[in-house]
Structure 1
Amino acid sequence: KDAVFYEAKQYIPVPIEEVRMSYVPIGFNEAKNAPRVLLVAAPLKIIDIYVAIAEMAALDVIAIETESVALGRAMYRATKQKHVVMLDFGANSTDMSIMLDGYLVFSQSISIGSDSLTQSIINKFNFEYKQAEEYKRNYGITESVLEGKIHQVLSPILESIMLEVSRGIEFYKNKTLAPAPTDYLLTGDGALLPGLSEYISKALHVNASISNPWINISIDSKFKDIIAKSGPSYSIAIGLALKDE
């Protein structure tokens, strides 16, 4: 533990006393004859905010965990895929994580999210936000609808995300000397964009599919319609719920 925290100083860009750190083993580095660990650090100021919110809601904080770790747990439980890229499409960012041998080994946040797609439709067609959101959710990146007009508007935004994903993959390959995963799991509300999995498969020459974190989880019948429409949106919440399983 002391050795891990000592080494952490070279990776964390703020004073150690200003963060809370933890780590989990992720295998063994044969070349260095040493264990591999995933180090997680969060600013104390951010942790204090979450704890204060929980206290105001009369909740007891059991643990605080990064989204990528929770997502990896949910995806591995659902798919058993050991080498995979996970793309979590949120409103303000797209988070990219990579699993190797069933362990989370790489994570980065891309500061472009689904709201950027909505805003591009607003700018092009002068729509109100609600109408732009409906067009995005109904037509997505599919080229064959509305003469491809929505596709043309959304493509530059998605191309920017794909560029950052490609850069992340190259960094991962250089650091781990492992081959790039060819399977991609798409999650988050933004993953439901029509045509997105096909677009990513073609753009990156990979096998992209929308994740289903609800595999082998019992669902009350009154919630099945909601889950069918927005299942990937709950991936991180499911991962958190599975933390001590």
Structure 2
Amino acid sequence: MSSPPDGRNAVAPSGGRGSAEPITDGRNAVASSQAGDTMLARLIAIPEAAVHSRLDTALLAGLQPVSVIPEADALVRVLTRHHRSHSLLWRGKATALVALRYDYTEMSIARETHLEFTRTLRIGLEDAIEAVQRALGASFEEAESLLQESQLDEHGTLHFPESLGLPPVSLLGFLHNLTSEMRRLVDFQRSRFPEGSYLGLLDSFLITGEGAILNGLTRYCSQSLGLTCLVGDLLSALKWRVEVGDRRPEAIGRYVSALGAAVEQESRVGDRELEHLAMDTSVMELSKEVRTA
């Protein structure tokens, strides 16, 4: 289904982003259409804050969604399936997911396949890009390209290839804001349980999103926090029936959440229906069938 228009007059979400039980199912919604008949549609992997407005828009358009999965939920489920074999998620253990996007960051806590907490922050990869832009006097596009070629050291300094002849650039402001919020999340999780309880232990972070392209970020965060930080490779959690030639983050990074939700549907709708899962045409160009690893 193509993206519906923004529901500016839609009902606002009734629960906060930290709700223990996020709304994930729209199957009981009643749709009415001026045309009379309703059509089946599937809304997949959109931010939780947009679920209510887009659901309302879809209903007003005469569509009847069969399922709604918040983006963070879809990411957690895919990462859980991928990393369980690596012992990162033992039974009952909580793991933090840091989805570092261009203009925001979403930090979530998941226990196995259950999303316990989600918070959105006004920190994004754009902050790092703008720091490079100011330091070098480059355009935004040039700074973004340079960031992808750079290497972040343990002191929070970016180093560029020697052939470019560019001076190092400090990202300490951006990194301080990011790691401070990660520390805050660790403290918050610990405060939710009795002192000494393993249930309050949060000792690993999975970093995903566009910000995961920053070379050296996980090493810096690990050293700064004294915790394990890994890149959550969503693509390796999926098995593609059709070969995908271009797997660069900028090429399909914006689709991985939707694919995560599609994988989650497999247990509900079965293989046959999953093959005909309605997706954006640009996703379908990448792969016509999605399978779990």
TM over 0.5: yes
1:60–1:218 distance in 2 versus 1, CA, 3 Å: farther
1:221–1:40 distance in 2 versus 1, CA, 3 Å: closer
Cα distance, 1:230 vs structure 2: 6.7
Paired residue for 1:179?
200
1:114–1:140 distance in 2 versus 1, CA, 3 Å: farther
Secondary structure of 1:19's aligned partner: coil
CA distance in 1, matches of 2:141, 2:58: 30
Deviations 1:154-176 (A, max 9, x none): 22101111101111221121123
Paired residue for 1:168?
185
1:122-141 aligned within 5 A:
122-141=133-152
CA distance in 1, matches of 2:226, 2:169: 19
Paired residue for 1:107?
118
CA distance in 1, matches of 2:130, 2:158: 22
Larger helix fraction of residues: 1
Paired residue for 1:39?
21
CA distance in 2, matches of 1:53, 1:92: 26
Checking the alignment, whether the CA contact within 8 Å between 2:99 and 2:106 is kept in structure 1 is yes
Correspondent of 1:83 among 94, 97, 115? 94
Letter in 2 for 1:38: A
1:75–1:54 distance in 2 versus 1, CA, 3 Å: farther
Paired residue for 1:156?
173
CA distance in 2, matches of 1:19, 1:186: 27
RMSD (Å), alpha carbons: 3.3
CA distance in 2, matches of 1:185, 1:91: 17
Cα distance, 1:203 vs structure 2: 1.0
1:19–1:208 distance in 2 versus 1, CA, 3 Å: closer
1:1-245 aligned within 5 A:
18-19=12-13, 38-40=20-22, 47-49=52-54, 52=57, 61-80=65-84, 81=89, 82-142=93-153, 143=157, 145-146=159-160, 149-152=167-170, 154-177=171-194, 178-215=199-236, 217-219=238-240, 222-226=243-247, 234-244=255-265, 245=267
Secondary structure of 2:234's aligned partner: coil
CA distance in 2, matches of 1:140, 1:51: 45
CA distance in 2, matches of 1:91, 1:229: 11
TM-score normalised by L of structure 1: 0.72
CA distance in 1, matches of 2:142, 2:176: 23
Bigger shift: residues 64-73 or 192-201: 64-73
Bigger shift: residues 228-237 or 82-91: 228-237
**Number of residue pairs the alignment of both structures matches:** 212
Secondary structure of 2:68's aligned partner: coil
Cα distance, 1:180 vs structure 2: 2.8
Provide structure 2 residue ranges, at least 5 long, that are not aligned to the other structure: 1-10, 24-47, 268-293
CA distance in 1, matches of 2:191, 2:144: 39
1:131–1:53 distance in 2 versus 1, CA, 3 Å: farther
Deviations 1:136-189 (A, max 9, x none): 11104245734995451x221011111011112211211234333222211112
Secondary structure of 1:95's aligned partner: strand
TM-score normalised by L of structure 2: 0.61
Cα distance, 1:49 vs structure 2: 4.1
Provide structure 1 residue ranges, at least 5 long, that are not aligned to the other structure: 1-16, 22-36
Secondary structure of 2:110's aligned partner: strand
CA distance in 1, matches of 2:78, 2:178: 23
Checking the alignment, whether the CA contact within 8 Å between 2:133 and 2:139 is kept in structure 1 is yes
